[in-house]
Amino acid sequence: MRAETRHQLKQDAFTRVTIGAAEKTAHWSVEHRNTLIIAGLVVAIIAAAAMGSWYYISTQDEKASFDFAKAIRTLELPLRPAGTPEQPGVPSFTSAKERSEAARKEFQAIVDKYPHTRTADMAHYFLGVTAASEGDNASAEKNFKEVAAKANKELASVAKLALAELEGNSGRVPDAGALYQELISSPTTSVGKVTAQLELADLYKNNNQPLDAKRLYEQIKKENPGPEASQIATQKLAELK
């Protein structure tokens, strides 16, 4: 799979996770509002504590989302040639590494300040992304594993996908393969079965296991007669010859 295609898959996956989390929070509020209003006195007292806790987390999540958006914008700020002064009112960086380090600090601040929010889980994932982009594989692996272990299944699957790629690039082929197999067996909306199969097949292809890669590409073609997945698998099979 081409690098830009893989990158787009991960961007799309994370976008779906973010939107899904926001929608679920909104739906919870609408569905439960009337029940909370008409509750009896005793129930209201008990619910007040629970609602207070939920309200606190919801408020914290809202605050965290502003910081998260700011950190994402930091990752998108332009780069300027080395030695060129920064223009007033136009933030920029001299290198991708400098930009990544700045965003990484912002994501870490979110995790530290709002540890029990969904936004913190997403920031935690981006801690892994920025660490990996800086070549800090140990930190990237640590963060991806933590997200995979505690986040909701959609975001956890994205973290597992990133972790598998990291392990594969580090030469830990069996570990990466096991993660891809797990994603294939338990696909999510964010990381579908075909995505995990293509990544696993690429892992086999890049590590001198052409027969395993061929078997998986042929399986993808057989199970997915639609044009997109089948075309990618056909192209990959041609590259094996």
Within 10 angstroms of residue 34's Cβ, the number of other Cβ atoms is 9
**E strand or H helix at 239:** helix 227-240
Task: Kindly report, residue by residue over 90-147, the tens digit of the pLDDT.
Answer: 889 899 899 999 999 999 999 999 988 888 998 999 999 999 989 999 999 999 999 9
In a domain, 52, yes or no: yes
Sign, CA dihedral 67-63-114-19, equals negative
Give the side-chain half-sphere CA count within 13 A for 82. 4
Domain with 112 in it: 3-22+44-77+93-240
Buried b (16+ CB within 10 A) or exposed e, 64-98: bbebbeebbebbeeeeeeeeeeeeeeeeebeeeee
In a domain, 205, yes or no: yes
Residue 15 has pLDDT above 70, yes or no: no
Q: How far apart are CA 13 and CA 117, in angstroms?
A: 19
In a domain, 195, yes or no: yes
Task: Kindly report, residue by residue over 23-45, the tens digit of the pLDDT.
Answer: 343 333 333 333 333 333 344 43
Query: In this prediction, what percent of the chain has a pLDDT beyond 90?
Result: 41
Q: What is the CATH number of the domain that holds 107?
A: 1.25.40.10
- How many angstroms separate the first and last alpha carbons of the chain? 16
In a domain, 183, yes or no: yes
Task: Kindly report, residue by residue over 170-224, the tens digit of the pLDDT.
Answer: 999 999 999 999 999 999 988 899 999 999 999 999 999 999 999 999 999 999 8
In a domain, 180, yes or no: yes
How would you write 97-109 as a 3-class SS string? HHHHHHHHHHHHH
In a domain, 39, yes or no: no
**∠ CA 170-180-174, rounded to 5°:** 45
Question: Tokens for 20?
Answer: 């899904």
Helices 153-169 and 3-37 sit at what angle, rounded to 10 degrees?
Answer: 160
Q: How many domains does the chain have?
A: 1
In a domain, 35, yes or no: no
In a domain, 84, yes or no: no
Task: Kindly report, residue by residue over 209-221, the tens digit of the pLDDT.
Answer: 999 999 999 999 9
